[in-house]
Amino acid sequence: MAKNHMPVAHFGVRPDDVRADCAPPKAIDRWHPELRARAEASSDDAPLVIDVMDVIGDTWDGYGITARKVGALLRNSGEREVVVNINSPGGDVFEGLAIYNLLRGHAGDVTVRIVGLAASAASVIAMGGDRIEIARAGFLMIHNTWVFAVGDRHDLTTVAGQLGAFDEVLADLYAVRTGIDAAEIGQMMDRETWVSGRAAVERKFADQLLTADQVEADPQARAEAPRLKNLAKVDAALARGGMARSERRSLIKDLTSTPSAADDGMPSAAKSMAALMGSVETTLAKMETGHGL
């Protein structure tokens, strides 16, 4: 299939005053990390499979989906057909756009399979497929770009202008894929729209429904799901509170590590983290109720 049916988005250096690097809280709540695409028999001519089953962007545990990781896989695949399985609450919109561009630039055919959730930045990645398939019980979620910004009113005015430009590009990507007018897509983004599997096919966000036997639940991932979702919420709360990504990663990594005798039963980061928990709990409460800071 020719790859000229969707525009490729290009952005310059990421603005220093903008951080769009965590998944939306509502998407985290509705994410089921245990859902996976059923493994198929491998062969020499089988498609390369790329799993997008985590938050988009760098994460504390190193499992986040980044353009660097996806790019490395695509470079090694040559012109081989690629299947991208998606079940992600979203995350860093800049990483999502970069991965979208990589998929659009791949020489071979790209099939995207949404086996659970493709929310926010993950929905952008989904649009990079030449063909998009979605589970009947799957969902796409599209919304306006939202970020954590720090500065005075002039800085925030600049950020608002940047977000408007990003939203226009995202609306164009969805519009070209679906044939829906960009203005209508913009209204859908304004109100944060959740699109079910069947509705996604009807509105051309996807081409076909996946059969039920193409999706399965991973028992180990199911057991880990509450922990993964809670850690993602903590990361989002700290980010909204203004903590840099590197600091968040270091804190969460130490908090989840096994304490040594020298730590008196508590990781050193946990001791410093205790002082932050009051503000984190407040932030989480606001996120749960949909209120800003």
Q: Which domain holds residue 122?
A: 18-218
Question: Are 30 and 169 in a shared domain?
Answer: yes
What contacts 202, CB < 8 A, 6 or more positions away? none
Question: Are 101 and 45 in a shared domain?
Answer: yes
Closest CA to 183 of 168, 202, 205: 168
pLDDT at 14 over 50: no
Question: Are 204 and 255 in a shared domain?
Answer: no
DSSP letter for 95, please.
Answer: H
Domain-located, residue 194: yes
Predicted pLDDT at 19: 43
Domain-located, residue 247: yes
Domain-located, residue 31: yes
Question: Are 285 and 227 in a shared domain?
Answer: yes
Report the alpha-carbon distance of residue 151 to residue 114 in Å, rounded: 38
pTM exceeding the 0.85 threshold for the entire prediction: no
Domain termination site, one of 190, 218, 246: 218
Looking up residue 155, the CATH number of its domain turns out to be 3.90.226.10
Question: Are 35 and 50 in a shared domain?
Answer: yes
Question: Are 102 and 120 in a shared domain?
Answer: yes
Number of domains observed in the structure of the chain: 2
Question: Are 147 and 45 in a shared domain?
Answer: yes
Average pLDDT over residues 21-42: 81
Q: What is the pLDDT of residues 41-85, one digit of tens each?
A: 677 788 999 999 988 988 766 678 999 999 999 999 989 999 999
Task: Report which of residues 235 and 35 the model is more confident about.
Answer: 35
Q: What is the pLDDT of residues 157-168, one digit of tens each?
A: 888 888 888 899
pLDDT at 270 over 70: no
Predicted pLDDT at 5: 44
Predicted pLDDT at 26: 84
pLDDT at 106 over 90: yes
Average pLDDT over residues 182-193: 97
Q: At what angle do helices 67-75 and 93-105 cross, to 10 degrees?
A: 10
Place 275 in a pLDDT band, splitting at 50, 70 and 90. Answer: very low
Residue 203 burial (10 A CB sphere; 0-12, 13-18, 19+): middle
- 8 Å CB contact between 107 and 77: no
Average pLDDT value over all residues in the chain: 80
Place 239 in a pLDDT band, splitting at 50, 70 and 90. Answer: low
Q: What is the pLDDT of residues 122-142, one digit of tens each?
A: 999 999 999 999 999 999 999
Domain termination site, one of 159, 189, 218: 218
Question: Are 101 and 134 in a shared domain?
Answer: yes
Average pLDDT over residues 95-118: 97
> Tokens 């980010």 label which residue?
239
Domain termination site, one of 203, 218, 233: 218
pLDDT at 154 over 60: yes
Average pLDDT over residues 84-108: 95
Question: Are 26 and 152 in a shared domain?
Answer: yes
